[in-house]
Amino acid sequence: MNLIIGAFTIGLILSLLSVGMLISFKMIKFTDITVDGSITLGASTTAVLIMAGWSPWLASLVAFLAGMLAGSLTGILYTKFKIQEILAGILMMTALYSINLRIMGRSNIPMLDTKTVSDMPEQLLLQASGGETKMLLSGWQVSLIDLAVFFSSLILVVLISWLLYRFLLTHFGTVLRATGNNVQMVRAQGVNNNKMIIFSLALSNGLVALSGSLLAQYQGFADVQMGIGMMVWGLASIIIGEALVGKPGIGVTIAGAILGTILFRLLIAIALRWGLNPNDLKLVTAAFVFAALVAPGFFKSYSQKIFKSRKHA
Amino acid sequence: MLSIKGLSKTFFPNTINEVKALRNVDLTLEAGSFTCIIGTNGSGKSTLLNAVAGTFVPDNGVITVDGTAIGGWTEYQRAKLIGRVFQNPFAGTAAEMSIAENIVMAMRRGQSRPLTRAVTTQAKKEIADKVCMLKMGLEDRLDNPIGTLSGGQRQALTLLMATWLKPKLLLLDEHTAALDPKSAAKVAELTRQIIRDEKLTALMVTHSMQQAIELPDRIVMMHRGQIVEDYQKEDKKRIRVPDLLDTFDRVQKKELFDESVMQLLAEQYV
């Protein structure tokens, strides 16, 4: 049970990564690899600031802003210097690797027994239970602290997603979504499309970095390697989410990305439990994304073939 | 309203593909006038329109809209003054977004985009009232993605969007060329109606001689990057399609003669 709650919690934390990538990947249709670097950036800044005695909330906010800065730099490389989108992301990601090492001063910072953003709800729940640290939940023994972390992540993710949803429905958000749809139209409406791209990438990477920040606080460490393959991970989650909810309005799409991340995390947890070698995780993720990208087209052409052969018969 | 002076543009200069798209073009449009540019392929008519819209930077020349020189303005800055409808009926709208969302964006063309809800009930009512005018039944489908509509419907909406806030200048780039004849006629009629009712200054490029005769009150003919004919007022009223075709022939023959003479000279002396 604790394992499942853990998987849910990590799923929730990583859903900020997927929701952030939703902005770049789906809204402005920008394949942004900065993600691999900015999630680590969020973790490294948070780790250093919390170890230096900062409030975890403030540290998370700084992580968010640092992610925004990284994203906007990718946007500037793409718009002002006309570097291809993939290459702009790769350059930023590579630069961030060194920057993260510089920030941390070494490749790994453990943060055991430090404050995190879930301290307050943990204490509240412990007080409410009268000092008990475990409780029975439909026959399973559950750690109250785990439960508190889970619920605080849930509240945070729901709040941020709701804010994002409201934002995307504003005049500004509408133009942002149109930028990925038809750049010529957006320009003809008097909007600086380059600014929209830079802002979108900033917001996207800000959320990704926030996800990294919370992940570091939850896991109790920041590692310079933790971002590798995270973009593909987010992509897999978005694809699962889309398969779950289809392609309706923005609100449902965001909810789908969150559900997709949690489901993907659960699948991975189960696979690891069944004996999947953790070293194979990235390969499995990549294979999954490949299958998800190719399968719809394959089935389409397959059914067309059947249809054709029937026609001839 | 629009004044163009000495506008020139050479694409790929000093290469084998060099194209003198515009050669020292002068054109002045009076406020509330509707002018049509006709010409053969490659005559520079679309290039002229794009120069005004700001999609490229001309080599020389001054463009003034409503007394403001807009030479240094970017394409999106010019959208404050200029409404545009493109040849591609899908270019003027965002396919995945709803009719209402598309129009809401046009309702603030060239203005700030605040962080308030875009598609409000009030905005939707306003949109429904105006979309009614198209008589396409779209007022009941405001929440549908605009990509589900036909090219003609999308072009009609683009026209409505370009003129929602009265532009100082309306640019129409062969906006009926890619439509089926029935939709083309409908969009052309709508164009005439909107320009007349709103008293807009409009510049239209067309391949259709019929449209050039019927819609505007002035016809400008371009050839090889230059304005070769300009039919205004009484001239415009008198002119018919065969006259335009004759002029085309004359212009082309003259050029044929020029070229063959050049060739002859080249063969003799080089």
Q: Which amino acid is at B175?
A: H
Q: Which amino acid is at A168?
A: L
Domain membership flag for residue B149: no
How much is the average pLDDT of B126-146? 91
**pLDDT digits 0-9 by tens, A231-252:** 999 999 998 898 888 777 899 9
Confidence at residue A262, expressed as pLDDT on a 0 to 100 scale: 94
Identify which of A166, A173, A182 has the shortest CB distance to residue B93.
Answer: A182
Contact check, Cβ <8 Å, A171/B94: no
Rg (chain B; Cα; Å): 20
What is the nearest CA distance from A7 to chain B, expressed in angstroms? 34
Domain range enclosing B75: 2-96+165-239
Question: Residues for chain B: how many in total?
Answer: 270
**pLDDT digits 0-9 by tens, B33-46:** 999 999 888 888 99
Question: CA angle, corner B124, sides to B120 and B127, nearest 5?
Answer: 140
How much is the average pLDDT of B118-126? 93
Identify which of B84, B101, B117 has the shortest CB distance to residue A188.
Answer: B84
Question: From CA B211, how far away is CA B176, in angstroms rounded?
Answer: 10
Confidence at residue B258, expressed as pLDDT on a 0 to 100 scale: 62
Domain membership flag for residue B123: no
Question: From CA A160, how far away is CA A204, in angstroms rounded?
Answer: 12
Q: Which amino acid is at A76?
A: I
Contact check, Cβ <8 Å, A170/B116: yes
Of the pLDDT bands very low, low, confident and very high (cuts 50, 70, 90), residue A304 is: low
Interface contacts (A, B; CB < 8 Å):
94
Complex ipTM value:
0.86
For domain A2-276, the CATH class is mainly alpha
End-to-end Cα, chain B, rounded Å = 50
Domain membership flag for residue B181: yes
Of the pLDDT bands very low, low, confident and very high (cuts 50, 70, 90), residue A303 is: low
How much is the average pLDDT of B179-195? 93
The residue ranking higher by pLDDT, A142 or A262, is A262
**pLDDT digits 0-9 by tens, A188-220:** 999 999 999 999 999 999 999 999 999 999 999
CB-side neighbour CA atoms (13 Å) of A33:
17
Question: From CA B19, how far away is CA B213, in angstroms rounded?
Answer: 30
**pLDDT digits 0-9 by tens, B206-234:** 988 888 888 888 999 998 888 988 888 77
Question: From CA B187, how far away is CA B134, in angstroms rounded?
Answer: 9
Domain membership flag for residue B33: yes
The closest alpha carbon to A207, from A34, A51, A8, A6, belongs to: A34
Question: Residues for chain A: how many in total?
Answer: 313
The residue ranking higher by pLDDT, A111 or A172, is A172
Domain membership flag for residue B251: no
Say if residues A171 and A136 touch (Cβ distance below 8 Å).
Answer: no
Question: CA angle, corner A131, sides to A130 and A134, nearest 5?
Answer: 105
| CATH number for the domain that contains residue B23 | 3.40.50.300
Identify which of A172, A178, A187 has the shortest CB distance to residue B115.
Answer: A172
What is the nearest CA distance from B178 to chain A, expressed in angstroms? 18
The closest alpha carbon to A46, from A130, A104, A93, belongs to: A104
Question: Which stretch of DSSP H or E encloses residue B172?
Answer: strand B169-173
How much is the average pLDDT of A27-52? 95
End-to-end Cα, chain A, rounded Å = 56
CA distances from A173 to A23, A177, A207, B117 (A): 11, 6, 16, 9
> How many domains does chain B fold into?
1
Please name the residue of chain B whose CA is at the shortest distance from the CA of residue A170.
B117
